[in-house]
A and B are shown apart, each in its own frame.
Chain A
Amino acid sequence: MRKLNRSVVVAMAAVTITAVTACSPPEKKSEATTDGAVSAATAASAQDLGGMDALVAAAKKEGALNVIALPPTWANYGEIIKAFGDKYGIKVNSAQPDGSSQDEINAADQLKGQDTAPDVFDLGGSVATANTAKFAPYKVATWSDIADGQKEATGLYVNDYGGYMSIGYDSAKVPAPAAVADLLKPEYKGKVALNGDPTQAGSAFGAVQAVSIAQGGTVDDITKALDFFGQLKKAGNFLPVDPTDATIQSGQTPVVFDWDYLNAAQTAKVPTWKVVVPANAVLGSYYNQAISKGAPHPAAARLWEEFLYSDEGQNLWLKGGARPVRADAMTKAGTIDKTAFAALPAVSGTPVFPTEEQTKKAKDQLAASWAKTVG
């Protein structure tokens, strides 16, 4: 082969590299077609736009909404997305339904300035508090119904729905666990699963905290929970499989720790599926809504929030077994869906809502020792 002149090749390579790096996508200019579209991006309430009708009009003009990490069977999101789309004639693009809260933020960072970037987020507490710089403040019409402790004062993020950690089990395959400690019995060999890895998924992390309370520990010192999972693993009962609708229906994961609204959603497909909230170990957690600062559809994003916090949206979450944040106010007003409310799993004992600090302590413990515990 004829030797190429090396310096020429290097020069070619350099030119190519510069050309490629220069080809990064250009910043998208916001297409200010109307004044509405521009002010929608900064509107902190429907009033700022001139009322709800103006917001609906602006959202319809945009015609689309990008949501992310909303599984159809999670808190009834499938029906919520459909109801919103039908009501306003807005096309909802649902991306990465199985993503985590962190995936939502990553997507917003990576797709910045593009039409496919997410408009709204549904986030776990830690991810929400860590990323406030990426949110646009917004107060929905029903803002006053939400307790102060459940919203960021300017509306950067607001609790939307919550639930309690529960044990879902297939009564056709396993006996009913009366307490968390029962799961160590031989009847549960190779049958107990967490929804994800607790060092990565909020729901699995909640399970560890709930087990800690049940075993006589606290939500910030989870040593007892780690001991429990270590024993569960030793007994051969711990199942390192990620439960999905498919694994639950096929009987691969007969016992699943998960939020009660997620476990409750399974009963529709598996009639023998039962949900219990462990007695006196009630761990609660709320998710949060936030609007992306760089939302490509700012008006639709705000209309989505209005819909979620309206009686209709709140009742749709309730129908999915989740406890909507306005439940108390709606019970007083008599607008709550009573049948769905009565169908929620019974709870005994006081629910514990861990603070950021308690959770942080537990996380540090977990990160260092989870792999060892189940490895």
Chain B
Amino acid sequence: MAEIAEAAPQRVAARPRLRGAASLLGTVPFFAYVTIFLIIPTLVVAIGAFTGDGGHGFTLDNVRALADEYIIAAFGRSVLLSALSALFGAVFGGLLAYAVSTAKPGGLLRRVVTALSGVLAQFGGVTLAFAFLATIGLSGFVTVWLQDHTGFYIFENGVWLFELPGLVLIYTYFQIPLMVIVFLPALDGIRPQWREATENLGGTTWQYWTRVAGPLLAPAFLGSALLLFANAFSAYATAAALVSQGSPIIPLQIRGALTSEVVLGQANLGKAMALGMVVVVAIVMTLYSLLQKRTSKWLG
């Protein structure tokens, strides 16, 4: 594919070259930042996961405890929640992104949607949980309005907003805009000439989507979906603000292990769970980068 895509003319700016180590000084802030916020916490988690209670001695107990029924169940629910919200986000976000990509470049629709997506994709945590509580919570205004005007009570069959279904709904809310942001560049990379070429050669719309655009977009689409999965899998604040019982998902189990005043001495079990999460996200991100490689081949 790369041969077809015309490379944009590269403008090479002439820069004075710094010598040797001096030019590396610029990387110091980056390494310092990564060390403090990524490497050290990861080491703390990895070491803690194999440390006994009280902070001394090597042990496999914490990692073994990950096989406990309730932890396995929480991992399962975390994966289910992430997968469902990534699926809904990818489908709806993908459709929205396609609609935007066919709109006039620089037009009002496109500008509004991308700006909104930029804001809403980062709209999470306590504020988002509260927004949902105020609208469709137990005494939220939509809930009350529906009950007064139609007699329909949305919590007739239980308080689903505070359980997994509620989390799927709320996560999807920030997954859709994120999908728009990460998937739009791939859609923009599809050239109208390819469609014209398909039609000139007698291809139908169906054939264009299944033989040309589909295969081209598939890696980008799957990659974006994986990114959404990782995004949901590691989200914590929204669920923490909303769900206070039973810690259905792993980030909440970790919270419980670290701050419980009832069951003590679980801090390192929490770290072992965090290590489990790191492993899951590492697998997902590896797949994501492989798919990104495929996409970038033709995304000029």
Contacts and interface: CB of A to CB of B under 8 A. Distances in A.
Contacts of B259: 99-100, 102-103, 106, 200
B68 to A, nearest CB: 8
Given A8-B24, A16-B35, A240 B70 contact: no
Given A199-B263, A202-B262, A375 B69 contact: no
A252 to B, nearest CB: 5
A65 B256 CA distance: 29
A13 B258 contact: no
Interface in B113-144: 137-139
A333 interface: no
A256 B243 CA distance: 16
A240 B159 contact: yes
B162 A100 contact: no
A4 B6 CA distance: 29
A236 B264 contact: no
Contacts of A201: 261-262
Nearest to B133: A252
A147 interface: no
A12 B39 contact: no
A124 B68 CA distance: 27
B42 interface: no
Interface residues of A, number: 51
Given A12-B31, A199-B263, A251 B246 contact: no
A372 B70 contact: yes
B69 A368 contact: yes
Interface string B140-158: 0000000000000001011
B162 A240 contact: yes
Given A8-B24, A251-B139, A16 B31 contact: yes
A369 B32 CA distance: 44
Interface string B77-94: 100000000000000000
Nearest to A208: B262
Contact of A240 (B23, B68, B163, B258): B163
A112 B159 CA distance: 42
Interface string A211-246: 000000000000000000000000010111110000
B245 to A, nearest CB: 4
B265 interface: yes
Nearest to B264: A130
Given A199-B247, A242-B244, A20 B24 contact: no
Nearest to A195: B244
Contacts of A363: 262-263
6 contacts: A8-B24, A12-B28, A102-B258, A200-B260, A239-B159, A371-B247
Interface of A: 4, 8-9, 12-13, 16-17, 19-21, 99-103, 106, 123-124, 126-127, 130, 190, 194, 196-202, 205, 236, 238-242, 250-252, 363, 366-375
Interface of B: 20-21, 23-24, 27-28, 31-32, 35-36, 39-40, 68-70, 73-74, 77, 137-139, 155, 157-159, 162-163, 243-248, 255-256, 258-265
